[in-house]
Structure 1
Amino acid sequence: VSFNYISLISGPSNTSDIRGERVIGMYGAKEVVVILVDDWRTKAFKEDTIYKEFLKCIGCRTCNFTCTASRAFGNIYASKYGLGADGIIRAYIHDGIEAAVKDGLFFCTGCENCLHWCPVSVNLAEVLKSIKKEAIGAGLCPPPLKEYQQKILKEKNPFK
Structure 2
Amino acid sequence: MNTTAKAEKILGQIQAQRETLLADYSTLAQKVQNLKSSTARELNKMVGRATTMLKVKGCQVFLAKDPSEAREQVLKILSTNQKALISKDPIFTEINLHQFLQEKNVKLVQTDLGERVAPLSIDVHPRMASINTSVMDKEHLLQLKNDIREESSQTDFGITGADAIIAETGTIALLESEGNVRLTSNLPYNHIVIAGVEKIVPTLEDALTVCRTSSIYGLGKDLLNYISFISGPSRTADIEFRMVQGMHGPKEVYVILVDNGRMAASKKGEFDALKCLHCGGCLVDCPAYLKKGLKFGYHYSGKRKAILSKFLSGESSPYQEECTYCLDCEKCNTICPVGLKI
Q: What's the TM-score, normalizing by structure 2?
A: 0.23
Structure with bigger gyration radius:
1
Structure ranking higher in strand proportion: 2
Higher relative contact order (CA 8 A, sep 6+): 2
